[in-house]
């Protein structure tokens, strides 16, 4: 596997691998130690925080570089106090539906 990764790194600018869940198989920890960085992916509302903590610990104990955590399956439409909340970005007191998921981030970057 190390030879394959070395060959791929010399050929391509980025090599992205998708591996099995970290807590179920040792393969992921072994692979984590062979790559430049690891992104931990967790499903919003489904992956318990303790599993995320255990995964982070497993990545670090393997000597791997944890780059960050990706939280997928996030609902951008909310009716709570956080996010767009009960007041939309234009100040109207109603929830707004976001047709473009990148729109809130684009507004923040302006």
Question: In the prediction, which pLDDT does 102 show?
Answer: 58
Confidence (pLDDT) at 94: 45
- The pLDDT value recorded for residue 101 is 55
pLDDT means over runs of 10, the chain (110 residues) = 87 88 83 89 90 91 91 74 51 49 55
Sign of CA dihedral 58, 63, 68, 72: negative
- What's the pLDDT score for residue 22? 82
Distance CA 34, CA 27 (A): 11
CA-wise closest residue to 36 among 7, 16, 11: 16
Closest CA to 40 of 25, 11, 19: 19
Domains of the chain, by residue range, sit at 1-74, 75-110
pLDDT of residue 16: 87
Cα separation, 17 vs 8, in Å, equals: 11
What was the pLDDT predicted at 95?
45
Residue 32 CB burial class (10 angstroms; 0-12, 13-18, ≥19) = buried
**pTM for this one?**
0.60
């Amino acid at each position: 596997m190390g030879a394959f990764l070395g060959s791929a790194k010399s050929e391509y600018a980025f090599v992205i691998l998708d591996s099995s869940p970290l807590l179920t198989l040792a393969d992921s920890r072994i692979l984590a130690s062979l790559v430049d960085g690891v992104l931990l992916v967790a499903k919003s509302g489904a992956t318990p925080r303790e599993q995320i903590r255990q995964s982070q610990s497993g990545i670090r104990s393997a000597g791997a570089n944890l780059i960050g955590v990706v939280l997928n399956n996030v609902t951008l439409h909310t009716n709570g106090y956080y996010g767009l909340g009960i007041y939309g970005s234009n100040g109207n007191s109603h929830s707004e539906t976001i047709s473009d998921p990148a729109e809130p981030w684009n507004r923040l970057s302006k």
